[in-house]
Structure 1
Amino acid sequence: MIKNLTSWAFSDSSVQHSLGNNFRQKRMALFKKQLEKLKKPVKILDVGGYEEFWINAGMANVPGIHITILNLEAGETTYNNFEIVKGDGTNLSAYENNSFDIGFSNSVIEHLYNRGQQKKMAEEIIRVGRYHYVQTPNKYFIIEPHYLLPYFQFIPKKVRFFILTKTKFSRFKKWSKKEAQQYLDEILLLSKKDMKELFPSSKLTKEKFIGMTKSFVVHNFKD
């Protein structure tokens, strides 16, 4: 019982039936409602995403929906409506303005090291998509989602490095020095104010958990 509860609460969001995946599926249900309003075919550019995300969302081989998944490496896929390409989310110059119906990104923009890179990605997603939908964790949520530790984001970086590499407090494992340093360098969480500055003309919605804002979604879908 305890083992199952721990697995549910602390597993990665990609794991089905986990708490994180439950949030993701609710979020995607709202996205799909907006998607249904658009005339088919619909072209989606997922910046920084993975094929498994869309499979889990039930979007594989859906007629009238083509999803280009852009990440650091290209890949093969067996699904006829997926395309996996290599690219940089901060430089989408390979695509013209409004090349896609939707520019999409889920929990990626906080992994870009600095605000300048985040601004570039926001501008590019807005430019290449007629509509956009971008999600990111809330900087001020009680649990830091990448490490699953309370207010870990506000601890000095050297202390965080020590905790990650010398203890099993984060996700019940000792992180390797390389992995810990990579995450500590790249993650820059965003607040509501930050998201409004990056997406000034977008609508912002809050994902709630026990009365607290867990994450933000910005979009420009019509009501």
Structure 2
Amino acid sequence: MADNTNKKSLSHRFRQRRFRVFLEMVRSLPKPISILDIGGTLAFWEGMGFSEDGVTITLLNLEVQHPLKPCFISITGDATALDFDDQSFDIVFSNSVIEHLYTFEQQQKMATEVQRVGKTYFIQTPNYWFPIEPHWVFPFFQYLPFNWRVWLTQHFPLGHIPRQNERSEAERQVREIRLMTKAELQSIFPKAQLYRERFLFFTKSFVMKK
């Protein structure tokens, strides 16, 4: 269900549907187009079958990625302090990254930088109120007391999170992921349109786009 590398998985189907919304955005802009993908990988774009001409994609991560295909550039950087001039990119894209910044203050900083360097943007993140936490893939995990979440992380491999033998690593892993609410996202992206990704009767994730 949650293996987004498996093209038959529910997670991959959600990504593809979301990506079609992004493609509409790309195709509405005049080319050439420059995209900054914060936290992105070549494998993600290949998995989505992206093949638009006249598009250059800069992948920003903690480490440089190799090898790359033409029209891709890999750099290191900090999502909360981007080393680019204002309006440097036509689109800033990010898929499930902003929730990995530990605190709301850091999330605010990333949002500010996204809006500074991008003429437009497409920022996706899971919904705090969706009942299944998407990283541990465990019902209501995000609502449990901190020590319970740490204990579970120490004792079981859950979802995309491997079991952590050391309590300090389990604590770091739990602190790293801070899911966001709609109100929080709208407060830090005040000019964005909000796109809801729904599953059954619930909103699974949000996209803030402009």
Please tell me the TM-score bracket, short chain as reference.
over 0.9
**How far apart, CA to CA, are the structure 1 residues paired with 2:148 and 2:207?**
31
Contact 2:122 2:209 in 1 (8 A): yes
Q: 1:149 aligns with which of 127, 138, 142?
A: 138
Contact 2:37 2:57 in 1 (8 A): yes
Aligned to 2:91: 102
Question: When the two structures are superposed, what TM-score results if normalisation uses the length of structure 1?
Answer: 0.88
Counterparts in 2 of 1:167 and 1:71: CA distance versus 1, 3 Å: closer
Q: 1:215 aligns with which of 197, 205, 210?
A: 205
Counterparts in 2 of 1:174 and 1:54: CA distance versus 1, 3 Å: closer
**How far apart, CA to CA, are the structure 1 residues paired with 2:107 and 2:94?**
12
**How far apart, CA to CA, are the structure 2 residues paired with 1:127 and 1:117?**
15
Alignment root-mean-square deviation, CA: 1.7
Aligned to 1:88: 78
Contact 1:203 1:219 in 2 (8 A): yes
- The share of aligned pairs that are identical, in percent, is 40
Aligned to 1:199: 189
Structure 2 residues without counterparts, runs of 5 or longer: none
Displacement of 1:161 after TM fit? 1.6
Q: Which amino acid aligns with 1:177?
A: N
Q: 1:165 aligns with which of 154, 172, 188?
A: 154
Aligned pairs, number? 208
81-90 or 48-57, larger mean C-alpha shift: 48-57
Aligned to 1:120: 109
Contact 1:208 1:214 in 2 (8 A): yes
Contact 2:111 2:189 in 1 (8 A): yes
Are 2:33 and 1:42 equivalent residues in the alignment? yes
Are 2:62 and 1:78 equivalent residues in the alignment? no
Contact 1:43 1:100 in 2 (8 A): yes
Question: When the two structures are superposed, what TM-score results if normalisation uses the length of structure 2?
Answer: 0.93
Counterparts in 2 of 1:172 and 1:184: CA distance versus 1, 3 Å: closer
Structure 1 residues without counterparts, runs of 5 or longer: 1-8
Displacement of 1:180 after TM fit? 3.2
Q: 1:20 aligns with which of 4, 7, 11?
A: 11
